Amino acid sequence: MKLKAKRGLLLAVCAAAIVPLAAIPLGWFALTDAALVGQRQNQETPYTSLVPTGNDYYLLRQLNTRVKLAERGATGPLYDSESGMEGMYLSGATYAEGMIYADSDMQAYQDEVLKTLVDGGVLPQAWYDQVKEEIDYWAGSTYYSTDTLGFVRLMTFVGESSSTCLLNMEVDSLTGKVVALWISAEQGHEIDPTAALPAWVELNELDGLGDWSVPVGTDYEESGLYSENGQVLMTCAAGDDNYTTGGQRRFYFSLMLGPYTREVSQ
């Protein structure tokens, strides 16, 4: 009887061992599933992001076109080039006599653009206040001109007989993005190009170029940002104004965005 019971027990143990052994695949997959969930791993063929060029950005394409057209000096209606017939380009006037007097709406627009720059961290508040102060004091007059590519130039003159150009701004009319700004004020203020330039990149929505960097070894090492992909340079500078005439010492603040080839420059 005892032997029979022992035999039965051993057979039961054998059967009990077979069941979990047979269920090894279930345990195996339970373990591998647990290890699979939440486990980050690198993609085998990760997506390679598109590399944009300057022509992928409307603003830069416009600037490039302007440079190209300006270089050929074509102001006629049609131009026969190697690549075929091209459209004509008419530049906007850069002096008050050739410009149109800006009404209040245009002046408000100018102020709005400046505020956008201030809010975007591009133009220091002190410079904006300085500009406003001199405009109010001198009751400065504003003129504008446009070229055939849609760039609008706004210029504000102050001083006796409006002889001093306080502000010279170029804006793309479609996007409202500033491509150039020149301020000549009686009093200068501190600027921080390292903060202002990235802010301007973002404001102009050019951060997609993805390779903005300081153009080391060039004249713009301390005041510029360069994009190899976009072949474009933007600068932010301030200092003594040696350009504006009138005998009075003035200070300038400058923002410039334009096509630039680093290799050529160097």
Chain contacts with other proteins (rule: CB under 8 A): 6-7, 10-11, 14, 17-18, 21-26, 28-29, 32-33, 36-47, 49-50, 52, 55-59, 61-62, 172, 174-175, 205, 207-208, 210
C-beta of 147 vs 241, nearer to other proteins: 147
Please state the closest distance from residue 160 (CB atom) to other proteins, in A.
Answer: 40
C-beta of 142 vs 227, nearer to other proteins: 227
Classify residue 229 as exposed, middle or buried by CB count within 10 Å of its CB (0-12, 13-18, 19+): middle
Please state the closest distance from residue 179 (CB atom) to other proteins, in A.
Answer: 12
Please state the closest distance from residue 49 (CB atom) to other proteins, in A.
Answer: 6
C-beta of 58 vs 101, nearer to other proteins: 58
C-beta of 33 vs 105, nearer to other proteins: 33
C-beta of 7 vs 249, nearer to other proteins: 7
How far are the Cα atoms of 43, 44, 50, 63, 92 from residue 47, in angstroms, in the given order? 9, 10, 9, 31, 44
- E strand or H helix that includes residue 224: strand 224-227
Please state the closest distance from residue 199 (CB atom) to other proteins, in A.
Answer: 13
Tokens representing 57 are 């950005």
Please state the closest distance from residue 42 (CB atom) to other proteins, in A.
Answer: 6
Distance from C-alpha of 20 to C-alpha of 44, rounded to nearest angstrom? 37
Tokens representing 43 are 């993609």
Give the CA angle between residues 120, 121, 126 to the nearest 5°.
125
- Is the C-alpha dihedral spanning 190, 193, 194, 200 positive or negative? positive
Distance from C-alpha of 266 to C-alpha of 72, rounded to nearest angstrom? 23
